[in-house]
Amino acid sequence: MYESLSKPILCLDFDGTIHAYESGWHGADVIPDEPVEGAFAFIREAMEQFDVHVFSARSGLPGGVEAMKAWFIRHGWEEDTLGQPAGITFPTSKPPAHVSIDDRAINFTGSWPTIQSLKDFRPWNDLDA
C-alpha cells in the first residue's frame, strides 16, 4: 500500500514540524498557524529523493487529513489535477518509512533513555521556555 517502486518513504510529522503549531491544538480540522520557516523548500528538495508522506495525530481523526491538505494549498503549495497538494501522500496510519522527522521524538540508539529524560523532553520550539 505504501511501498514505492522507486523512492524510499520520508515520513514528516505535521504539527510543530511543518505547521508552526504556535497556537496549540484547536481540533483536528483547525490549523491556524503558518508553515515553519524553510519547510516547503525542504519538502520540495526531499521529493527529489523520497516519497514524502505527511502523518500526524490529526491523520486518523475526522477532518484531519482534509484540513492538512487545505492548509498546504492555502499556504501556496501547488495543486495536482484533483486539487490536492501535488506530490505529497497523506496516510491515515503511520507508513513504513525509511526515516521520519518529528518534533516530539527521540532517536533510539540502542540504549534506553531514563524516565526523567523523557519527562524533561521539550520540542525545539519550546527550548527557550
Nearest to 65 by CA among 52, 75, 54: 54
Residue 28: CATH number of its domain: 3.40.50
Specify if 22 maps to a domain.
yes
Per-residue model confidence (pLDDT) at position 126: 85
| Residue with cell string 491523520 | 59
pTM over 0.85: yes
pLDDT of amino acid 1: 44
Positions of the chain with pLDDT lower than 70, given as ranges: 1-5, 129
Determine the pLDDT at residue 84.
Answer: 96
User: Is 1 inside a domain boundary?
Assistant: no
pLDDT value of position 6: 84
Give the number of domains in the chain. 1
In a domain, 16, yes or no: yes
- Which residues constitute the domain of residue 45? 9-126
CB 95 within 8 A of CB 11: yes
